[in-house]
Amino acid sequence: MYEIPSLKYKYGDLEPHFDEETMRLHHTKHHQAYVDKLNKALESYPDLAKKDVFDLMRDLNAVPEAVRTAVKNSGGGHLNHTLWWEFITPETTAPGEKTITALDETFGGLDNFKQKFKEAATNHFASGWVWLVRDGSRLKIISTPNQDTPISGGQKVIIGIDLWEHAYYLKYQNRRADFIDAFLKVINWVKVEENLAS
Ligand code: MN3
């Protein structure tokens, strides 16, 4: 049985950037719903249901066709949100050495990275995610629709932003750009550094 992870901070800790109610609903309702649907989809496949969600999503071909779409959507939702809670932090963090070097080499600096990331997130159509991933030895910004996860394509996730309206609509309504700015202020740079190192 998959379960939503417990968070390292309280729902209100990211105020005023992310509001308490959105954080609570996002975790206890939206993320929980992906987990519930994933558990239901794998009810008849106990061996698959024992897999770590990363391993499950890395090898969708191992999932029987009858439930593959359900697993892609709800397993992706579970995995993406598990990552999401760790992309953000109420603590003040700063980009580490590896991060600065990598963003310099690939994007010409932190500010340029932020600008390109924001551009991609602003322009992403409908629901989905924008990510910074490592693909082979290269870093790149990509976007995925729905709950598709870069993990299924063999890419290593460094950071990403949830662009489903449930992630921001209560506080930001149609102002997605303001939500993206808020996200850029609460990025957990310690996690980014860790992801780049592994
Ligand atoms: Mn979400």
DSSP annotation string for 9-45? S-GGGGTTTS-HHHHHHIIIIIIHHHHHHHHHHTTT-
**DSSP conformation class of 88:** B
What's the rounded Cα separation, in Å, for the pair 28 and 22?
10
What's the rounded Cα separation, in Å, for the pair 12 and 29?
16
- 107 Cα: distance to centroid of ligand 1 (angstroms): 27
- 85 Cα: distance to centroid of ligand 1 (angstroms): 10
Q: What is the pLDDT of residue 86?
A: 98
Domains of the chain, with CATH numbers? Answer: 19-87 (1.10.287.990), 97-197 (3.55.40.20)
Spatial strand order of the sheet with 138-145 comes to 138-145, 128-135, 156-162
Q: What is the maximal distance between C-alpha atoms in the chain?
A: 50
CA distances from residue 37 to 71, 76, 137, 139, 179 in whole angstroms, order as listed: 8, 11, 35, 32, 28
- 63 Cα: distance to centroid of ligand 1 (angstroms): 24
Q: What is the pLDDT of residue 31?
A: 98
What's the rounded Cα separation, in Å, for the pair 171 and 58?
34
Q: What is the pLDDT of residue 145?
A: 97
- 39 Cα: distance to centroid of ligand 1 (angstroms): 18
- 166 Cα: distance to centroid of ligand 1 (angstroms): 6
- 108 Cα: distance to centroid of ligand 1 (angstroms): 30
Q: How many Cβ atoms from other residues are within 10 Å of residue 72's Cβ?
A: 19
Q: Side-chain half-sphere of 13: how many Cα atoms within 13 Å?
A: 12
- 40 Cα: distance to centroid of ligand 1 (angstroms): 19
Phi and psi of 176, rounded to 5°?
-60, -35
- 126 Cα: distance to centroid of ligand 1 (angstroms): 13
Q: How many Cβ atoms from other residues are within 10 Å of residue 109's Cβ?
A: 13
Q: What is the pLDDT of residue 170?
A: 96
69 contact partners, CB below 8 Å, separation of at least 6: none
3-state secondary structure 51-79: CCHHHHHHCHHHCCHHHHHHHHHHHHHHH
- 25 Cα: distance to centroid of ligand 1 (angstroms): 10
- 105 Cα: distance to centroid of ligand 1 (angstroms): 31
- 19 Cα: distance to centroid of ligand 1 (angstroms): 14
pLDDT per 10-residue tile (average), the chain, 198 residues: 97 98 98 98 96 97 96 98 98 97 97 98 96 95 98 97 97 97 98 96
- 162 Cα: distance to centroid of ligand 1 (angstroms): 6
- 34 Cα: distance to centroid of ligand 1 (angstroms): 10
